[in-house]
Structures are given as structure tokens and as C-alpha cells.
Chain A
Amino acid sequence: MSADLFRIGFLPLVDAALPILAQELGFAEAEGVEIALVRDVTWAAVRDRLLYGHTDAAHLVAPLAIATALGRDRPAVPMAVPFVLGLNGNAITFSIALGEAVGLGETLGDPVAIGAALKAVADRRRDAGRPLRFGVVHRHSSHNYMLRYWLAGVGIRPDSDVEIVVTSPPFAADALAAGEVDGICVGEPWNSIAVDRGVGRIALATAQIWRRGVEKVLAMRADRAEARRDGVLRLIRAVHAAAAHFVDPQTVEQSAAILSRPQYLDAPVDAILRAITDRIRVVPGGEPIHYPDFMFQYREAANFPWRSQAAWLYAQMVRWEGQFSPADAAIAQGVFRPDLYRAALAGSGAPLPGASSKLEGALVEPIGAGSTQGRLVLGSDRFFDGRAFDPDDIAGYLAELP
């Protein structure tokens, strides 16, 4: 039997690791799947190739899958997300000048304290008619929503106190170096590359804003997911096996070496290795510091597509773009497909949550959670401001946000 071919689009980022390793290390082959990786430099190209059949699945920023299903900016196409490729793994990096103005230390600081210092600088720059400008990787990205969540939470109004523009990940460090932006919120290794080039200082890991923030997903057209259901389930098992391998401390150097290759990230192996091992160099020339769960790829059923995660992203989309409707909220949550995840991993020993939705940000310490298979413990998933999100009350949540 010939292998079931999945062409998978990706951007050169560390969190594209799972489909890459699934193919390179034989996890795909073991499931009778072959993965052909298709590299691009913009999310627009990744999305278009997926929608028009150049690819069968994609490594995608989660909000873009939702925006595509909702028809924001373009005609709607139903989408399916059966697997989350990881949580967090992004950072906010300031230019050297802004880092000094805000008084960043030698280690990751407190989001509230940095926010207060940033607000003073942002207010001065706004009053001088030269507002601070931040780059995010896409308007429909978790980076945009995390950055805005933090800024708004410390009293800085996005779009009126500071500008937020789009810069593609591979060009983010260049934009910082050229002074086009004062800060970037981007995935690894691009923060580390900015630091190593001496053009930036890491201010915060996005995991400090939301301890368990949903990041890249494996996205497909819903009709293709249906038509190739058996292959999709095998693909899920392959990337899930790759995730278990990826988080094993014995494998990190091998993974970093594979990811650094020209056809994948084409980036320094050292910067990739630091991201994988949760070690971040925050200042040029400094010693990397260890920040546990900087990237989160496997434990706590991290790959499970919680509908409440999709709901939170939809809530942020409405917060900054408007147009709330209960029908859209239902479509957004329907993009995440825990049913496919469960069908793929039933009988495998992987913990399967009993629920498909949960309160987000409500856990302060690890707690056992209901599961239909395996033992599931969920760690703290706090937001930096202590606010929790109830997916059944999006309107109420939005009304209380600053």
C-alpha cells in the first residue's frame, strides 16, 4: 500500500517542528502517511495554498483558521482544526533603545511592572506625535491578541496610544534593526535572532501573559478533513507521536539540528535549541535563563483542540475588530475539532479530556481533570491579570475588559 500523502504548508518557525519531525523521524511512515512540507514566508501564502489545494494541511496561526471560517477579509471557507501544534513559544522583544527607556533587567521581568514603565514611555511618545510602533506577525494571530491583551491590561490603548503593524516572522528582526518598529511580538527563533544580532532585548515571554495560550494549529479545509477522515486520523497519530518525542530531553539536539536545515528553518541551530529547551537569552551577550514551559508541545493534552480556546480567540477578534454574533461564535468554536482528536487517539493511552470546553485562565495550580482515557492533570493556565474566560459568556467577558 502506498503512503497517504499530506502536503503541509509551514512558515520557518520552531513550532513547525511536529510535522517536520513526524516525517523526518518515521512517525508518519509508521502510520502509513507521507508528509511533504511546503515552506512559505507569509501566512497569506500558506492559507491560499491550503484553500486552493496546493497543500492538504497547514501549520497555521490559530486565529487565521477562525477568521477564514468566518469569512473575515475574504469569502468564508469552512475549516477544521483537529490538533494543536503547541502552546505559547512566542516573546515580545523591544529595540535596545526602548529596552533601556523602559529599564528592562537582565532577566524576564514582571508583566505589570514592565507594563507600567512602558506606559510612561508610550504616553511621552504619543504626546510627541511619534507613537511607539509594535510589529506582530499577522492581524489574525495569537501574537497580535496576546500583545494587545497585555497592553490594554496595563492601560496602554492599542491603535490610539501605540501603533500595531504587521511584519512577517523572518523579517521581524530586520524591522527592529532598521528602526521601523520599537518592538515585535513573534515566534522563535526570531526573537533570539534579534537578540543575537544585538538589535533587541526580550521583554516578556507570551507565556507570562497567558500561561497556556493556544498557538499554532494543524488546519485543514473542513471538506477535505471529512473526505480524507481515515488519513487525517493517522496524520494526527503521527504528529502526536512526534510531540512525545519532541519533549523528551534526550532528543532536543537532534530536533534542533533537523529544524535548522535550509529547507526548514534555515536558522542557527543554537537559537533553535534554546527555544526547544526553554532557555532564553534576553540580552545580547547574556547567559540564557531558564523559563519553564516557554514552549509547550505535549504535556497536559496540550495538543487537544479545546473549543474554549477558539472561543477566546474569537472574543479577542471581536474585541479589536467588532462584529459579535452568537452564530459567528458557534462557527468559531466549531473550527476546533476535539471529535477528530479523540477518534484518532482512542485506545492509545494518551489522556483524552472528558469535556470539549473549559473555563480558560481559572487554574492557579495543577489540578486533576475529567478524562475518558488516561490520567489528565492540567497546570496553571492563568492570565497575567488574573481574569478568567467563560466561553459561554463572551459578551459578558468583553463588557468587563478594559
Chain B
Amino acid sequence: MRIAIIDTSSTRAAIISDGLREAGLTDLVVIDPSGPLAAQVERAAPEVVLINLENPSRDVLEDFFAMSRALDRPIAMFVDQSEPEATMAAVDAGVSAYVVDGLAKQRIKPILDLAVRRFQAFSRLQAELAEAKTALADRQVIDRAKAILMRRRSIDEPAAYALLRSHAMTSNRRIAEVAEAIVTSAQLMGDLP
């Protein structure tokens, strides 16, 4: 069974392909998002198309499917009459699927389930990456604020941190926000560490 993958993120497309391959689905075509969409899909002649829900080419793709229905390969859009929950999960995860009309449902569901898990894994990865980036930035700004406080108030590092922390608690802000304010004002006052 040939599966085409269309995704604006080439990383996510790779993650999905890997998952499908591990599950023994090796007949895969990853569509190049910078190339002509309809021509690539036509050449690939897939039985299943997986595409990210927010892909800007979806209206074009659906038009192509509707046209090809008039020609020879009927493609039913979305797999939802028999499997509303699976489709709901797919939409929640951000996956759309199109399948050739008449393809057995039990063959489609595992693919969709797998795509959903891979999409979710990708979202988690992105969230973790964003979190890691924030944490790193936070630590850097806190270090700079501590250095400023240590010099200006002649205190040691634990005392500088305690000062930041207590001010954050009383003003109901994150420590990094307080640190950011200190660094910014120090920059404005010409007191760069």
C-alpha cells in the first residue's frame, strides 16, 4: 500500500516516515513541499495521503482529488464515517488523511493511529525544545542580574539570588522576569556588567 506524506515540516515528515517504516509500511513517497503538488501526487499514485491539517495546499489538493475522481482514481476524502473517534483524534493531533475509495477500513486505521502518535510526539518534542530554550535564556539572564546585584550592593551570590527570589514572590512574577527588568534598567543606566 503506497502512502504519500505531505508536510510543511520536513522534520515531521521524516518522523512519520520512520514510524511507518518501522511498522512495516515501506512503500512511502514524501512529497517535496516546494515542488508542484498535484503533479507529484499524481505521479506517486498513492492509496493513502497524509497531510498536516494546517498545510496551505489543502484546498488545492482537495480540488485535485475531486478532479481525479472525474477521471479515473476515486479518492474519498477523510476517513470518518465508520471511525469518528479515530478521525477526531487525527484532527486534534493536526493530521488529515485521504484514502482511495474502497480501501479496507482495517488497513487504514493503523496508519492513521500511527500518524497521530507521531504528530503528537513531534508536538511534544517541539514543546520540550521551546522549554529548553526558555530555560537556557532564563538562566543566562538570572546570572547577569545576580552579577549586577552583587557588584551594586556588595553582596555574595546566594544573597543576590535570595533578593531576586523574594522580590519575585512579593511582586508575583517569575524570577527570570525580575532579572530581565534588572538587566534592562542596568543597560539603560549605563551599568553593564
A397 → B minimal CB distance (Å)? 23
The answer to whether B56 and A73 touch across the interface, beta carbons within 8 angstroms, is: no
Q: 0/1 per residue, B71-106, Cβ < 8 Å to A?
A: 000001110110000011001100010000000000
CB neighbours (8 Å) of B54 from chain A are 40-42, 45
Q: 0/1 per residue, A35-70, Cβ < 8 Å to B?
A: 000001111110011001110000000000000000
CB neighbours (8 Å) of B66 from chain A are 73, 139
B41 → A minimal CB distance (Å)? 14
Q: Does A165 contact B (CB under 8 A)?
A: yes
Of the candidate stretches B57-65, B129-137, B154-162, the one touching chain A is B57-65
- A53-B88 contact given A41-B54, A73-B65, A74-B78, CB 8 Å threshold: yes
Give CA–CA (A168, B56) in the complex, Å.
7
Q: Which residue of A lies closest to B59 (CB)?
A: A42
Q: Which residue of B lies closest to A139 (CB)?
A: B63
Q: Does A277 contact B (CB under 8 A)?
A: no
CB neighbours (8 Å) of B60 from chain A are 165-168
- A52-B62 contact given A41-B54, A73-B77, A75-B81, CB 8 Å threshold: no
Give CA–CA (A139, B70) in the complex, Å.
14
Give CA–CA (A75, B82) in the complex, Å.
10
B100 → A minimal CB distance (Å)? 14
Interface residues, chain A, CB within 8 Å of chain B?
A: 40-45, 48-49, 52-54, 73-75, 137-139, 165-168, 170-171
Give CA–CA (A49, B11) in the complex, Å.
24
B109 → A minimal CB distance (Å)? 16
CB neighbours (8 Å) of A45 from chain B are 53-54, 58
CB neighbours (8 Å) of A168 from chain B are 56-57, 59-60
Give CA–CA (A307, B87) in the complex, Å.
32
Q: Which residue of B lies closest to A180 (CB)?
A: B36
The answer to whether B88 and A137 touch across the interface, beta carbons within 8 angstroms, is: no
Give CA–CA (A54, B65) in the complex, Å.
25
Q: Does B55 contact A (CB under 8 A)?
A: yes
A57 → B minimal CB distance (Å)? 17
Question: Can you list 23 residue pairs at the A/B interface with Cβ under 8 Å?
Answer: A42-B56, A42-B57, A42-B58, A48-B53, A48-B96, A52-B87, A52-B88, A54-B91, A54-B92, A73-B62, A73-B77, A74-B76, A74-B80, A75-B78, A75-B80, A75-B81, A137-B59, A139-B63, A165-B60, A165-B63, A166-B60, A166-B62, A168-B57
